[in-house]
Structure 1
Amino acid sequence: MAAGIEHVGPRLRAARQGRGWTLAELAERAGMSTSTLSRLESGQRQASLELLVPLTGLLGVRIDDLLREPPDPRVRRRVQRREGMTVAPLTLEHSPVQTYKITFPAASVSPEPRVHDGSEWFFVLSGVIRLELDGAEHLIGAGEAAEFDTRLPHSISATAAGPAEVVSIFSASGERIHTRGAG
């Protein structure tokens, strides 16, 4: 079967419904019978260029859009290891917000605080996170979350008691600093 051909009918239906048109309205505009269009949308009729060209023109979609393979939603990005942390991406590379599962190693002292544009949110999965934020230390345990403006001096680390795992959500500028380094 050709790439994406099984998706033509549902995509035609979605485009038609997006325009607010009934089967009969689109069939009439395209110069075909309602039953032909119905069978195309349900997959009971083989799609051909002769049928698709007038429909795509009326619906404002490209034939390529009807035939493309469905996107793969799985995130298949490399886990990074940096400064003792394990950083596992949880979102696609071009997502508007970046999310990571980060494992921080045990640390007896906090890293030097940083300041940069952006904002950050994290949820502690296990262990205890030490968040130094604007000169104050906050201990955030499993099941707790924190959100802050990264223009305030801040550092994030596990405590000396052991490693800690978090799910972190960053704005674009925060993601660059925290997962790729200040350079």
Structure 2
Amino acid sequence: MKRDDAAASDPVDARLGGRLAELRAEHGWSLGELAERSGISKSTLSRAERAEISPTAALLNRLCNVYGRTMSQLLSEVEAEPAPVLRAAEQRVWEDRASGFVRRSVSPPHGGLRGELVEGRLAAGADLAYDRPPVPGLEQHIWVLDGTLAVTAQGSEHHLDTGDCLRLRVWGPTRFRCVGPGETRYVLAVVRP
């Protein structure tokens, strides 16, 4: 481990330290538990998380092994700050023509952020069913901008009209249906646990 008095002022080291602390918290591990799993002392782990030191490649490799990710994945999560402005022309749009669903990634996911915004459009009669969440316990806020939307989650169906918002954590199957005579447009705010 190299000592680096400038580590605290290095924005990459600061973001890396923050991400390492987030990963440990996501796993619910104490510094002691992570030290046992990685073979790295608690004090070194603590200093790396607080960006008091600049971690070596060997230390990062050990942590990547414990967290089940490549070093490239870890570094890509911290190398660049997310762009503060995403112009409409840069927002990716994906269409599922078979179901009548159009998805615009208004604020796409980024390793340094936990939330994202999606604009969804469902054609009249469109019916989307998901058998499971991509991440159990995913937080979602569904705000209907135009039309009527029926959302089924945790065994309950919720009818949402223009302006209504449904807040939930997703643990199992969900279903989105456009029940109005016209299309439905909504905002989906997604927050990783």
TM-score (norm 2): 0.46
TM-score (norm 1): 0.49
